[in-house]
Structure 1
Amino acid sequence: MPRQPSSPFLMPPLRLLLGGASLVLALGAQAHSVETANGPVAVPESPERIVTLYEGALDAALATGQLPVAAVTTRGGDGVARYIEAHLDVHHPEAELAIVGVVREINLEAVLAERPDLILAAPQLSAEQYALLSRIAPTVVPQARELAADNWKHEARLFGEALGRGEALEKAITEVEERAAALAVDLAEAGGDGSANLVRWMPQGPLVMSESLFTSGVLAAAGLAVDDAGLVNQRGVHSDPLSLENLSRLEGDWLFLATLNEEGDEALEAAKQSAAFARLPVVEKGRVIAVDGQLWTSANGPLAAQAILDDIEAALLP
């Protein structure tokens, strides 16, 4: 289970601790090089203390059987995502992951306190943060790519290479692809295929998620073509908050509704009481599926893909 870091005020100032931190790799017996967004980075051949500052990195590490020592919180939560907790409960029941920050705010003192020999970070990591983190331990940042549903595979492969577990990571990706293809056949035979819309329900209103996101790609691989109805804003990730009237523009055969926290749950329950929601064709047909927003609209990686496929299979197959 996640554990919170000690207060940074109990540790020496970061600038004093960083003085010798860059020696971490030099002490290692062996290393190999990986190509990152910041150029080639030498990483330990068999890292033992891995800090993940990105949900996709945590997922990829666990998918290879490697247990990191620390992670950041999931969006909308104060610990790791629920599907990650479920995986830890089964495969690492004694595990304790330190929490070293939230999605967009890393506690550098907490990272340093974990004495990492490898740090796996997000493509969005700033140059300033990279400069500091790379003095603590070799820091691997994937190349930022234009939004696409298969970006997770490129990122996961880099993380697998950095961990020295490329074959295990490739096996995990292949298992996702094979299972999704088999599920697509089963759904077609059962008449459960077709089109789908994915919506994150927020207190300020529903957000239609892009057809270029990770989860949209998993849905498509399972035989459910995702359509965002042209509602996605210029950022390309999701729409602006919509009224229920605008939500009626969605014409998918299935509607997957995701909430991140209790406030989202409450907003969705309130919407369900409205006549406008009840008139949505997909609601009238009973094809609305409630899903976990931490998994469906925030996560990515082989374990997340398998968990989403679990949800699809449970909801759409008789």
Structure 2
Amino acid sequence: MRKLFMPLLIVFMIIMAACGNNNANNTAQQESSTTTEPEFVTYESENGPIKVPAKPERVVMLSSGYVGNVLALDVPVVGVDSWAVGSSLFADKLKDVAIISEDDVEGVLNLEPDLIIASSTTANLEKFKEIAPTITYTYNALDYLSQHVEIGKLVGKEAEAQDWVNDFKARAKQAGQDVKAKHGDDVTVTVIEHYAKQMAVFGNNWGRGTEVIYQEMGLGMTDKVAEMALADGYYALSVEVLPEYAGDFIVLSDDGSDNSFKDTDTYKNIPAVSKGHVIEANAADFFFNDPITLEFQLQLFIDGFLGK
């Protein structure tokens, strides 16, 4: 009897151990399923709800204006257009990224993106939507900081985007107060771009540092700039009439192709120029208003206005 009992006891113990392991495995699987993020989430785009990756890993950027937003949030980018590559501020993050265009549908397909970000005016949108979830934004439909938060929401990093916005606004506001303390509350700044033998002055929301200077730092523009450039964002002009638009300081971005205008008496005799109140930058680094570009612009302005 004892000989029969021992094998039965061993079998019983094996069965109980197996059941315990199964229960443990089931519990672990259940806990894992409740903590794992969903593969896709619904994003409320300007064109309605769209299923997008919860954590995109291969993003194609068909609109250069938003490239810096995505890069600043450390989201992997596999394709961008040539305008974005022109900014030296993005160089390190884009060194291994393919250059594509809105006309290169096959090139985008070969990159196997899991998310495409484009402008509402991008060509071939319907074809791109067949490749991957495609989100479009209309330029200036949102202000530049709200746009960053919105892109953060798209890529699952809304809180991180909002934290940066709050911090940037505080630092830029303080910088503006410091500039006014040194140069007066009514100090004016004119933002000029010289590019491909063309010249323009800018309002308060067209990149080139305008958002930082006018919106966040709270510095003023001249009446002439407000009259001609504020509504449309920019106003093309010639160097001959530039003195009518120039403020106490000039922020000048250019491509370096032809700087002969700097040798003219008209330019040299502008008070801001003769006093050395000109802050210069490479035009390609000044186009955009994403966090990477904005951080560069803010530091340039702090150095230029305050001599730091």
What is the TM-score normalised by the length of structure 1?
A: 0.76
Alignment of 1:1-318 (within 5 A): 30-74=39-83, 79-85=85-91, 88=93, 96-101=96-101, 105-126=102-123, 129-145=124-140, 151-191=143-183, 194-214=187-207, 215-220=209-214, 221-227=216-222, 228-232=225-229, 236-240=232-236, 242-259=237-254, 261=255, 265-268=256-259, 270-296=260-286, 298-318=287-307
Corresponding letter in the other structure for 1:283: V
Contact 1:71–1:80, Cα closer than 8 Å, also in 2? no
Q: Quote the Cα distance in structure 1 between the aligned partners of 2:65 and 2:238.
A: 32
Corresponding letter in the other structure for 1:154: S
Q: Quote the Cα distance in structure 2 between the aligned partners of 1:151 and 1:47.
A: 24
Q: Quote the Cα distance in structure 2 between the aligned partners of 1:40 and 1:144.
A: 19
Contact 1:120–1:159, Cα closer than 8 Å, also in 2? no
Q: Quote the Cα distance in structure 2 between the aligned partners of 1:46 and 1:182.
A: 35
Distance 1:84 1:144, change over 3 A: closer
Q: Quote the Cα distance in structure 2 between the aligned partners of 1:294 and 1:144.
A: 19
Greater percentage in helix: 2
Corresponding letter in the other structure for 2:299: D
Shift of 1:303: 1.5
Contact 1:295–1:308, Cα closer than 8 Å, also in 2? no
Corresponding letter in the other structure for 1:287: H
Contact 1:33–1:43, Cα closer than 8 Å, also in 2? yes
SS at match of 2:146: helix
The one-character-per-residue Cα deviations of 1:243-298 (angstroms, maximum 9, x if unpaired) are 22211111411111111x3xxx2422x111111111212212221121121232x2
Larger Rg: 2
Contact 2:203–2:233, Cα closer than 8 Å, also in 1? yes
Q: Quote the Cα distance in structure 2 between the aligned partners of 1:145 and 1:35.
A: 18
Q: Which residue of 2 aligns with 1:17?
A: none
Instruction: State the percentage of identical aligned residues.
Output: 23
Distance 1:98 1:46, change over 3 A: same
Contact 2:56–2:75, Cα closer than 8 Å, also in 1? no
Matched residue count: 266
Let me know the Cα RMSD of the aligned residues: 2.4
Larger RCO: 1 or 2 (CA < 8 Å, sep 6+)? 1
What is the TM-score normalised by the length of structure 2?
A: 0.78
Q: Quote the Cα distance in structure 2 between the aligned partners of 1:40 and 1:226.
A: 40
- Return 5+ residue gaps in structure 2 as ranges: 1-36
The one-character-per-residue Cα deviations of 1:146-179 (angstroms, maximum 9, x if unpaired) are 6xxx622232222211111111111222222121
Q: Quote the Cα distance in structure 1 between the aligned partners of 2:40 and 2:163.
A: 23
Corresponding letter in the other structure for 1:156: H
